[in-house]
Amino acid sequence: MDKEKVHYVRGTEELKLKSIRAQKLIQQFNQCDVEDAETKENIIKELFGTVGPGVSIEHNFHCDLGYNIHVGNNFYAGYNCTILDMAEVRIGDDCMIAPNVGIYTAGHSIEPKDRNKSGYGIPITIGNNVWIGGSCVILPGVTIGDNSIVAAGSVVTKDVPENTIVAGNPAKFLKAISE
């Protein structure tokens, strides 16, 4: 089933205000003392749409709006995580994201006319117990199934079935994971 595109126009007052709200919270988060886990968690709870217990995100985190991000229990994201959440990003329980990962719901027209004035977002869903390796990119509309692994450096352009390992650019099936 295709996921519905969310269209937006850049530069509108409403989008500016939403972005400013997110950027102020992100700035506070990234300037927190590394030992102040409680403040960091409170900022993430204010920024994200929903947050399960046990969230841990390293510094230099970035996102567009924040409220479109929903993470489950025991979520971990390493340094330099970027989530472009012009559409919803839903991440399940017990997920680990290594450093330098980009999760991008946003896209733009391939037609040059007005490409920089508007765009769209397509939701991304990441299941439970997923491990995304360092320097991966997850593109708009992708669903990653439960218990799967995305190997370091991969670019995920298509859905990943549950219990599989994918690798490469574009990411392709590498092997099944058995219990």
Residues 58, 159: Cα–Cα separation, whole Å: 27
- Active-site residue, from 7, 59, 62, 108: 108
Residues 158, 176: Cα–Cα separation, whole Å: 17
108 included as an active-site residue:
yes
Nearest CA among 50, 59, 58 for reference residue 91: 50
Nearest CA among 55, 51, 101 for reference residue 78: 101
Looking up tokens 């007005």 gives: 114
Residues 11, 159: Cα–Cα separation, whole Å: 32
Catalytic site positions = 108
